Each structure stands twice: as structure tokens, then as C-alpha cells.
């Protein structure tokens, strides 16, 4: 059985949505940020500050290599996973990739609330990064879910419906 991998910018709610999808389906949930934090015994902020972003990106890639042959997982990814083409080639091998799309203001409001996000400290920088990345989220997505204004339960239903009935995808759920 294929995995479902959630991609999207910081603050999209990938972790929350992924864990609800996992509990609804009984599938195992993997959060790439949490996995890396557990492995490194450091927070994301700690990794960025002490080892640098490039070390964090190497850890992300190692995890994608590990996940590429796994199946039946719900995977919530970090917002920068799409920056490395190799990550996405590996994830796409065995996952339906779902882009959780939100308005930039919503994303920033959520993302700035947590210390865990070293790349969400300045709004202008946050927007610039988003503009660079948005085409990549779209490019790699098999499915785009417009999550703006929707509850976690509704987004979960959208994801499950699309994964069960891929024919519905463009017509009803993409923006
Ligand atoms: C990042 C997003 C974060 C985390 C790290 C870098 C990014 O994950 O991986 O701070 O580059 O967008 P979330 O998308 O879960 O916030």
C-alpha cells in the first residue's frame, strides 16, 4: 500500500492533519521533523543554530532515503523537503504526495507562534521564501488540497476521499 506524504509550507498544519489521517486509517504516522529531532537529540532550532541548516537538510535527505522503500505510512514533511529534488524523487516512488495549501497570512500567523521554526521570524522573508517554494509544492503534488478556512476534519476527509477516489481530484479539491 502506498504512503500518503503531506507537503506544504510552514504552518500548513501537516503534523496535525497527518496525525488525524493516521488515526482515522490506523496507518502509522511519521513526522519528519520529529524523527530528526529524536535522532539528533536536539530541537530543530538547536540543529540550525549549532550545526547549520545544511546539516538539517542532510538529515532530511537521509530520512527520505529510509522512507522510500517503506509503505503504509502517513508522512508529514518539513516545509523545506521540496528544496531537494532527490527527497521528492524518493518520496514519490511510493507515496501519494498531497500539497496542503493555505493563504500566506494564515501560514505566518500559525508559524510564528512556535519557537521551533527558525525560518519564520520575519514576515517579508517568510513571504519571499513562500513565493520561491510555491511552484515546487505544486510541481511535486499529486493532489492539491485547498485547506484555507477548513477544519482539520474536513481536510482529512478531502485527503481520504481523493486517495480512495483519485478521479475526483482535479474537479473537486484542487484550487
Ligand atoms: C522548514 C520547516 C519546518 C522545519 C524547519 C525548516 C522549512 O517544518 O522542517 O524549521 O524550511 O520550511 P514545518 O513545515 O513543519 O514547520
CA distance 70 to 20: 20
User: Is the Cα torsion angle 57, 148, 137, 129 positive or negative in sign?
Assistant: negative
Distance 28 CA to ligand 1 centre (A): 21
Nearest-CA residue for atom 15 of ligand 1: 78
Predicted model pTM:
0.94
Q: Are strands 3-7 and 143-146 parallel, antiparallel or unpaired?
A: unpaired
Q: Which residues contact 157 (CB under 8 A, 6 or more apart)?
A: none
Q: Which residues line ligand 1 (CB under 6 A)?
A: 10, 14, 33, 44, 78-80, 117-119
| pLDDT at res. 164 | 77
Please name each of the domains of the chain with its CATH number. Answer: 3-172 (3.40.50.300)
Distance 147 CA to ligand 1 centre (A): 18
Weakest-pLDDT range from 22-26, 105-109, 111-115, 140-144:
111-115
Query: Which pLDDT tens digit goes with each residue over 62-88?
Result: 999 999 999 999 999 999 999 999 999
pLDDT above 90 covers a percentage of the chain that reads 85
Amino acid at each position: 500500500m502506498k504512503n500518503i506524504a503531506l507537503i506544504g509550507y510552514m504552518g500548513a498544519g501537516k503534523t496535525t492533519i497527518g496525525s488525524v489521517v493516521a488515526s482515522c486509517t490506523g496507518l502509522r504516522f511519521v513526522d519528519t521533523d520529529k524523527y530528526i529531532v529524536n535522532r539528533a537529540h536536539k530541537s530543530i532550532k538547536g540543529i540550525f543554530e549549532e550545526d547549520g541548516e545544511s546539516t538539517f537538510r542532510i538529515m532530511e535527505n537521509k530520512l527520505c532515503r529510509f522512507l522510500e522503500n517503506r509503505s503504509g505510512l502517513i508522512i508529514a514533511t518539513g516545509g523545506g523537503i521540496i528544496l531537494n529534488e532527490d527527497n521528492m524523487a524518493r518520496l514519490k516512488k511510493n507515496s501519494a504526495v498531497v500539497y496542503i495549501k493555505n493563504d500566506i497570512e494564515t501560514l505566518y500567523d500559525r508559524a510564528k507562534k512556535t519557537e521551533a521554526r527558525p525560518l519564520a521570524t520575519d514576515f517579508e522573508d517568510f513571504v519571499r521564501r513562500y513565493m520561491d517554494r510555491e511552484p515546487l509544492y505544486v510541481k511535486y503534488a499529486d493532489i492539491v488540497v485547498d485547506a484555507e478556512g477548513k477544519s482539520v476534519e474536513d481536510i482529512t476527509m478531502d485527503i481520504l476521499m481523493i486517495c480512495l477516489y483519485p478521479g475526483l481530484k482535479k474537479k473537486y479539491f484542487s484550487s
